[in-house]
A and B are shown apart, each in its own frame.
Chain A
């Protein structure tokens, strides 16, 4: 097939496990580490202000593992937890984290060639940064699953550890914006968009995603704008031919 020869083809290369992918995987997500640590610091400080115990912070970070969703949830944490407030928290978390479904969907052509017991646990490591680094690796023909999992595990550990000093130094870190923590994620995104630019035509879905996200952000409360913008942008690509 002619398509199979294209460098951006998602189908080439069955996934395999080789430890020599761990180093490059960690190197690829290294730019994320200071931002992740800063984010975790700010999150730990926020939780201390909301009177969480340190154990609660760590349990949440370990089992939820969705930085932005945790931030949003804790900022609006209810005074008393019952079935209805917990359901609200779950819904807020879902609106922020549904984008992970799109990300793991795009990893299917790669990780789908692995047995399910290896592929599904790997998907639990999907994060914005880890996923973007993995996609770029894949575009250059990579297929080593350790690249994604190795980098993902390091991000996970840094994330868990970073909240501890934040929790303990909550007083000093009361205003994360003072240290520019709020620009970490968008700056990383912006940096990744630059090499992803392949001409205005290929960026039409980006524009669609941006317009829809802005509209939903204005019209609906909460974080629905992420998933609706992302889905709209991706769907719009249906209607444009590549060449």
Chain B
């Protein structure tokens, strides 16, 4: 196995695995000790949108016009068709086309 996976690389992967698995299991474990009051429920309800916005907004702002255009297209498609599949494909096509035409970002 060492011919294919160098042992120092494996060590790095295992370190990354431990922090990632701990994140995935840790939140679930922690909630064992938290009672779901209406207030906690509001926090959980706000979580999806908050994660989505926090994870993508800085990348979108830094991504420039092409990314903004692609996401606007994705949202427009979702409003019209309510289909995430078509939305994602549309965004990829818009971004790839815009870049092929020479637009930066």
Contact = CB atoms under 8 A, between A and B. Distances in A.
B75 A191 contact: yes
B54 A56 contact: no
A41 interface: no
A165 B12 CA distance: 24
A123 B28 CA distance: 8
B78 to A, nearest CB: 4
Nearest to A8: B45
B23 A97 contact: yes
Contacts of B78: 190-191, 194-195
Nearest to B28: A104
Contacts of B42: 237-238, 240, 242
A234 B54 CA distance: 11
B46 to A, nearest CB: 3
A168 interface: no
Contacts of B88: 31-32, 34-35, 184, 187-188, 191
Contacts of B4: 53-56
A104 B27 contact: yes
6 contacts: A10-B41, A35-B88, A53-B5, A102-B47, A191-B84, A205-B46
Given A55-B4, A94-B23, A182-B95, A105 B87 contact: no
Interface residues of chain A: helix, strand, loop or mixed (majority): helix
B15 A105 contact: no
Interface residues of B, number: 78
Contacts of B23: 94, 97-101, 104
Interface of A: 3, 8, 10-11, 30-32, 34-35, 38, 52-56, 59-60, 63-66, 69-70, 73, 81, 85-87, 89-91, 93-94, 97-109, 111-112, 119-120, 123-124, 126, 128, 131-132, 135, 177-196, 202-203, 205-210, 212-214, 217, 225-238, 240, 242
Interface in B53-105: 53-63, 67, 70-71, 74-75, 77-79, 82-85, 87-96, 99-100
Contacts of B20: 64-66, 69, 93-94, 97, 100
Contacts, number: 307
A214 B61 contact: yes
A233 B15 contact: no
A225 B54 contact: yes
A126 B96 CA distance: 29
Contact of A238 (B43, B50, B57, B58): B43
B9 to A, nearest CB: 5
Nearest to B26: A101
Which of B39, B42, B55, B95 has the largest count of A CB atoms less than 10 A from its CB?
B55
Contact of B49 (A65, A233, A242): A233
B52 A124 contact: no
A203 B82 contact: no
A110 to B, nearest CB: 10
A193 B52 contact: yes
9 closest residue pairs by CB, A with B: A229-B54, A233-B50, A101-B27, A187-B91, A105-B27, A237-B46, A55-B4, A180-B95, A108-B31
A183 B63 CA distance: 9
